[in-house]
Amino acid sequence: MDFLYQHALKPILFRMSPDTVHDLFMAAGETAGRFAPSRRLFGLFYNYRGRDISKTVDGLTYRTPILLSAGFDADGRLTRILPSLSFGGEEIGSITAHHCEGNSLPRMTRLIRNKSLVVYKGLRNHGVDALIAKLTHTPRIPGFVLGVSIARTNEEAACTDAEAGIDDYVDSFTKLNATGIGDYYTINISCPNSFSGETFTDPALLARLLPRLREIPCKKPVYLKMPINVPWEQFVAMLDIADTNNLQGVIIGNLNKNYGDLTYPEDAPKKFRGGLSGAPTFKLSNELIKKTREKYGKRFTIIGTGGIFTPDDAMEKFAAGADLIQLISGMVFEGPGLMRKICERYSAKD
Ligand SMILES: Cc1cc2nc3c(=O)[nH]c(=O)nc-3n(C[C@H](O)[C@H](O)[C@H](O)COP(=O)(O)O)c2cc1C
């Protein structure tokens, strides 16, 4: 199947625009997830069936330690097919308080030689109310963990006024908690493609946002999605604020804004048009995971994401200190067999 993907399907898909391919995959994945025979068929090829590699983190048990990272399934349409692809969970979203069209097309550009996507989605999603309605009516697959990533609506009002931005997060967080949708929540403060950039990576503003969220009764783990391009001192200041506000963990991290980190920077858009996923995030994220572990020990759950294309990459992320891993680009470039291969490699460790 991997051979088929690499040599038959991928050459066709990679001739189409990434936005079109994404739309096709969402529709196909959602449809396949509805029916047991199609789930079984996908499972036959792509589901891990080796020894038990389940992991319990912050009270949630993941059948495998691999999650789909936030941004691919913004509106929670793939919750029933992803378990057949060896995922132990997914992070839905980022969702926002209001429906958001996102940025203009193209929202994704492939940089094939760089093994990266330029991501310019601008938090395109149907909004928290639509997500709650959708997930309330979607039967769950047992053992598959659903995280929900929350961002601030990508519109001028919520982005230019910090207080309005905080209210936007509070609105989504309150509704999710009230309805019980989502097993864990991630506060995404590091989307590089929104109206005014990453306001809440400023420690002073983060110190206003998190206490407001902690006023809302929540019995579930809450994580913070970290930027990977800020200086270490600022990163530490953010972690300290996460610590004092009793957050359970961090996701390290988001897209890389620095086109100079590409192996072939000449392939990048001439002007900034969104953050880079994939290979250019790998080292940065690993270094930050390692340093966070060294400084904070076991204080934080760390979910490692960025640039996992092979089982070895995944093992490096775990060795750096990640409890769980997330990915998107690896699946796009290497195909849907990647997660099973990682599980097989993971099960062989020790
Ligand atoms: C198409 C796309 C959309 C993304 N949207 C979001 C998002 O809405 N929220 C978020 O926290 N991260 C978002 N990200 C970042 C990913 O969650 C992840 O941190 C990053 O892509 C690194 O992982 P990867 O190298 O495996 O792709 C997005 C990434 C991609 C590729």
Please report, for the chain, the start and end positions of each structural domain, with discontinuous segments joined by +. Answer: 2-347
Residue 17 clears pLDDT 70, i.e. is over it: yes
Where does the chain show beta strands of DSSP type E?
A: 55-57, 60-62, 66-68, 89-95, 108-111, 116-119, 145-150, 184-188, 222-226, 249-252, 275-276, 301-305, 324-327
Per-residue model confidence (pLDDT) at position 349: 83
What average pLDDT score do residues 54-81 get?
98
The DSSP letter of residue 122 is -
Ligand 1 center–CA 350 separation, angstroms? 30
- Total H helices, total E strands in the chain: 13, 13
Task: Supply the pLDDT for residue 2.
Answer: 80
Residue 102 confidence (pLDDT) above 90: no
Three-class secondary structure of residue 165 per DSSP:
helix
Q: Is 287 helix (H, G, I), strand (E, B) or coil?
A: helix
Atom in ligand 1 nearest the alpha carbon of residue 330: 26
Residue 290 — very low, low, confident or very high, per pLDDT cuts 50/70/90? very high
Q: Is the CB of 107 under 6 A from ligand 1?
A: no
Sign of CA dihedral 183, 327, 236, 163: negative
**Does residue 237 surpass a pLDDT of 80?**
yes
Query: Residue 106 class from Cβ within 10 Å (0-12 exposed, 13-18 middle, 19+ buried)?
Result: middle
Is 278 near ligand 1, meaning CB less than 6 Å away? Answer: yes
CA 330–ligand 1 middle distance (angstroms):
11
What atom in ligand 1 is closest to the CA of residue 190? 11
Question: Cα of 214 to ligand 1 centre, how many Å?
Answer: 25
* DSSP character at residue 8: I
Residue 8: pLDDT band by 50, 70, 90 thresholds? confident
What residue's CA is closest to ligand 1, atom 14? 71
Distance, CA 305 to ligand 1 centroid (Å)? 9
275 lines ligand 1 (CB under 6 A): no
In percent, the amount of the chain with pLDDT more than 70 equals 96
Is residue 67 a contact partner of residue 91, using CB atoms and an 8 Å limit? yes
Instruction: List, in sequence order, every residue forming a beta bridge with 250; answer none if it has no partner.
Output: 224, 302
Q: Which of 96-110, 188-202, 210-224, 282-296 has the lowest mean pLDDT?
A: 188-202
What's the pLDDT score for residue 167?
Answer: 94
Question: In DSSP terms, which residues pair with 111 in a beta bridge?
Answer: 116
Residue that wins the pLDDT comparison between 309 and 121: 309
157 pLDDT exceeds 70? Answer: no
- Where residue 224 falls (left for φ over 0; alpha for ψ -120 to 50; beta otherwise) is beta
Which atom of ligand 1 is found nearest the CA of 108?
A: 1
Q: Please give the model's pTM, rounded to 2 decimal places.
A: 0.96
CA gap 215, 217 in Å, rounded: 6
Q: Give the model's pLDDT for residue 341.
A: 98
- Give pLDDT, residue 192: 64
Q: State whether the beta carbon of 277 lies less than 6 angstroms from ligand 1.
A: yes
Ligand 1 closest atom vs CA 326 = 26
- Is residue 109 in contact with ligand 1, taking CB distance under 6 Å? no
Any ligand 1 atom below 6 A from CB of 65: no
Query: Strands 184-188 and 145-150, how do they pair?
Result: parallel
Q: How far apart are the first and last CA of the chain?
A: 28
Mean pLDDT across the chain: 94
> Residue 245: CB within 6 Å of ligand 1?
no
In CATH terms, the superfamily for domain 2-347 is: Aldolase class I (3.20.20.70)
Alpha helices (H) along 35-161: 36-46, 128-136, 156-160
